[in-house]
């Protein structure tokens, strides 16, 4: 059962009868909320290694607020392999043996806003987890050594076959993305993209289906990823 979706910007499912904490089916991550089964699979040390910092009551559900270090899953120094790889500050860990310091920063990602001549927005249905089956916009992680403009054009080409001829930066939003059991933090850069011929769009790669939706008929709640949902809200608010 999906709940709290209106005010919690990440997919969250009710997981009753938790054997961890029977009265608290949800875990707030510092930047979102995850169901306990995900934490059970991804963060087995969670309840041992993180302090419960705050309990809040949200819509009659007791929620335990926790803050984990972004490198909680990183136990060994990536340079020398030492297990003495400890918290350096809230964003980094340092090796007590070789001195190596590694900082945790968000990954760059892009989102494409493509409109056709009928003022319909190009929307794709996600073919993969997370949020498989929900609506999304073309885009993805930036590659090393490419600009965000190049990255958004590449992703649009990969997912829709369309050639981007012009990009215009709109805004950026932070996001989290659970991939391979690790919560990846991103900064999603939204670009208005002009394409050579919008009629040639066809679903490829991560996109299961493409849809052209009139802007005024867009519903943010249909979009599964938090930053894209917020981005749709911003676009609607700015729409003439």
Under the binding rule (CB under 5 A), the answer on residue 211 touching Zn ion is no
* 100 in contact with Zn ion (CB under 5 A): yes
User: Rounded CA gap, 219 and 135, in Å?
Assistant: 10
**N-to-C CA span, the chain:** 36
Select 14 or 80, whichever has its Cβ closest to Zn ion: 80
Phi, psi of 40 (to 5 degrees): -60, -40
Give whichever of 47 and 102 is closer to Zn ion, judged by the CB atom. 102
CA-CA distance, 33 to 39, in Å (whole number)?
Answer: 10
Residue 92 as a binder of Zn ion (CB under 5 A): the answer is: no
Interface pattern 56-85 for Zn ion (x via CB under 5 A): ---------------------x-xx-x---
Q: Is 86 in the site for Zn ion (CB under 5 A)?
A: no
Chain centre distance of CA 225: 6
**Pick from 16, 17, 22, 28: nearest CA to 52:** 28
Nearer to Zn ion, 94 or 227 (CB): 94
Between residues 77 and 207, which has the closer beta carbon with respect to Zn ion? 77
**Which residues are at the interface with Zn ion (CB under 5 A)?**
77, 79-80, 82, 95, 97-98, 100
């Amino acid at each position: 059962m999906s709940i709290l979706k209106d005010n919690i910007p990440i997919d969250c499912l009710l997981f009753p009868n938790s054997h961890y904490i029977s009265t608290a089916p949800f875990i707030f991550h510092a930047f979102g909320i995850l169901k306990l089964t995900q934490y059970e699979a991804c963060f087995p040390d969670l309840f041992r290694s993180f302090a419960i910092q705050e309990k809040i009551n949200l819509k009659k559900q007791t929620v335990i607020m926790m803050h984990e270090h972004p490198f909680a899953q990183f136990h060994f120094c990536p340079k020398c392999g030492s297990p003495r790889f400890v918290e350096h500050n809230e964003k980094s860990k340092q090796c007590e043996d070789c001195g190596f310091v590694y900082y945790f920063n968000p990954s760059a990602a892009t989102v494409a806003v493509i409109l056709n001549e009928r003022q319909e927005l190009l929307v794709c249905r996600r073919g993969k987890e997370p949020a498989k089956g929900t609506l999304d916009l073309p885009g993805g992680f930036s590659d090393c050594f490419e600009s965000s403009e190049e990255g958004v054009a590449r992703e649009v080409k990969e997912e829709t076959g369309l050639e981007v001829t012009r990009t215009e930066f709109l805004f950026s939003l932070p996001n989290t993305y659970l991939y391979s059991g690790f919560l990846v933090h991103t900064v999603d850069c939204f670009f208005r993209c002009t394409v050579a011929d919008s009629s040639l769009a066809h679903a490829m790669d991560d996109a299961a289906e493409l849809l052209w939706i009139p802007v005024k008929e867009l519903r943010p709640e249909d979009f599964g990823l938090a930053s894209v949902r917020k981005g749709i809200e911003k676009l609607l608010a700015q729409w003439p």
